[in-house]
Structures are given as C-alpha cells and as structure tokens.
Amino acid sequence: MRFETLTIHKGNLITDSAKPVVQPITLSTTFEHGAGEMMYTRANNPNRKALEDLLAAMEKGADAAAFSSGNAAGTAVFQALEPGSHIVAPDDMYHGLHNSMVQLFEGILEVTFVDMSNLEEVKKAIRPNTRLFWVETPSNPLLKITDIRKISALAKEQKAILACDNTFATPVFQNPIDLGADIVMHSSTKYFGGHSDILGGALITKEVNPFWEKVKIVQRVGGAVPAPMDCYLLCRSIRTLAYRMKGHTEHATILAEYLQNHPNVEKVFYPGLISHPGHAIAASQMSGFGGIVSFMVKGDAKRADEVVSKLKYFANATSLGGVESLIERRASVEGPNTKTPQNLLRVSVGLEHTDDLLEDLAQALD
C-alpha cells in the first residue's frame, strides 16, 4: 500500500462481529482468559494494537509502542539504558525531554549536549560509555538539520543506539529508519493528532531486540499508556495526516518566504529556504520541509511580545501541529537556561487561508 492508503486502512482493526466500517472503541479494562491475546488493558487493548500496528507500518519499523505523552515515550528510552550510560543529545532539543535527561536521570545517566548539525562536535562528545545518540531533526525551535546517515555511522562504530525524534517531519516527509536510525520517537500530540485535542507519544523500532524488549517492559510495567479513546482518535486523525502535512508545508513555505523579505524580521529559520545552512542535507533526507517556521523579529523580547499581541489568527499558545496556527516566544517558556534567542517566535503554521495569515502577519509586524 502507498502511504495515503496505508494510513486509512492499516489502523482499522475490526474485531466486532457486526463488521462496522470503523473500528469500535473497546473500553473494557479486562478480557476473558483464553478468549484471545488480550488480558488487561494496561498490557494491551484492541485500539492500542491497531494504533501500534499503524505506527510501525508508517515508519517502516518492526514494532511500535504507544505512550500517554511524547515525554513518556522519550523517557522510556532513557529508562531502558543501563545506569552509567552516556547520551549525546542536541543542545537545542525539545526542553521537556532535555529536562527528563537532566532532572529525572541526574546521577543515573550522563549526557553531553552539542550542536548535532556539527559532526565534529558530535565526534568530540563521544565517550567509551556512550550508548545513545539522540537526534531531533528538524530541531525545536531552531530548525537545525542533523545528517541522520552520518550520525548512524558514528553510532554503529560505537555500538550505540540511534534514536530520532521525528515529530516535526512526520513519516510523510522523513523515515529515519531508512536513514539508519534504530528507534523513532513521536509526540503524537502534534501532527498525528492534528487537532490539539489528543495527548500521546510513540516509539517505533527498526528491529525487535533485547533493548526494545526493555522499552516494552517500561511501557507495560510503568503503565504510561494511552486510553482506548485516545488510540481510536489518533487512528482516526492519522487518516488525514498525508493531506494535512502537504497543506502545512505549502503554507509554511509561503510564510517563510514572506518573512525572509520583511524589513522588520532579523532572521528566518526554515529548512525549505535555500539560505538555510542545513537545506542541502534536509533535501537529501526529507521529501518535504514541514509546517514549523521560526523567526527573529528586529528588536528585543518586548518587541516580539508586541508582535504576538497584535495577531488575530495565530493563537499565543504552546504546542504545534494542529489545523489552527499557533505562535509562541519560546524563550519565555523554556526557562532561564534557554539557548533560544529572546526575540525568536516559533510558528506552527496552520491550514487557514494563507492570504489571511499573511495579512495578519503584515499588520502585526508593521
């Protein structure tokens, strides 16, 4: 099946004898012994199985694990590492997982944060006990691009695991497993859900191996799993993922080009722009550049906040990936240790008419 067909049919597991066209929601927390593979919904559930089968197929993996949030998914990978393991991670990575590494696993794991788009910096960060390379490409919120193939070669040489956060690109535009990743992570809250109303996370593995079995134990025993309704809604939303992503990317490209030429904009971060330092690598491993654009307004944090306050169609809110446009001054929510410029605004470009979005930006920036 092609991707669009797969997303519509693969996640539709029909177990009801009435043969409905759409999978029912199975709310039961327990199942009769001997009646099938299900026993208790924390361990498995028909709706979660449908979602995990779909996720694995979308990312071309051997298996998948669904979680109650993106942070729970990423943290499960860290939990599965042996104590004393060293991680190489991006210095501009999503702050929730950054906090997981440095707060939850302080004294248990070691981590070095580097510019993952700079291969020499990555090489210098490697230690004898490096067991995990964590990649986020495009990164949040600076939209840096990491060469997955080259990091994969380093990981194999080190006999370490390469995990890639593919939330921004989605499997519509990038398949990290094809590029050498061992595990792919998603915040399914974002583009998979697509409507800002589902919390979830996911991991997909290239192969079922002892490390993956540890991850599955963390999922099953730790219990940070999504409810059947959330799994059902994600399968439902993923049916339109390919078409939504095409729209998000088309709109983001238009906005990025407009912002790049605006006199009150200092700098634009979008890998689809030829001027982006990672454009060539992005073009070699992505088929589209996603729906997130970051830009720095000319001026300070106060000026950036003024721009946000004037906008009508861009909600000043955290998160991304919904059909509505969102904007946020990222430094204001990342805390005092943020490396994000104070005048940087991150935009999750929605599916509104682009003329309305451009007119709104024009009046806010002037």
168, 290 Cβ separation under 8 angstroms: yes
Q: In 3-state terms, the chain is what percent helix, strand and coil (to 5)?
A: 40, 15, 45
Can you read off the two tokens belonging to residue 137? 């490409």
Closest CA to 202 of 91, 317, 8, 48: 48
169, 187 Cβ separation under 8 angstroms: no
Amino acid occupying residue 69: S
Closest CA to 176 of 232, 202, 137: 137
Residue 198 to residue 69: CA distance in whole angstroms: 9
Can you read off the two tokens belonging to residue 208? 């079922």
C-alpha dihedral, 231 to 237 to 240 to 244, nearest 10°: -130
- Length of the chain, please? 366
Amino acid occupying residue 324: E
> Which residues, in sequence order, are CB contacts of 280 under 8 Å at separation 6+?
none
Render 134-181 in DSSP notation, one character per residue: EEESS-TTT-----HHHHHHHHHHHT-EEEEE-TTTHHHH--GGGGT-
Residues that are catalytic: 42, 94, 165, 190
Q: How, if at all, do strands 201-205 and 265-269 pair?
A: unpaired
Handedness of CA 172, 173, 175, 176 (dihedral sign): negative
Render 293-304 in DSSP notation, one character per residue: EEEEESS-HHHH
Q: How, if at all, do strands 110-114 and 292-297 pair?
A: unpaired
Closest CA to 239 of 68, 22, 19: 22
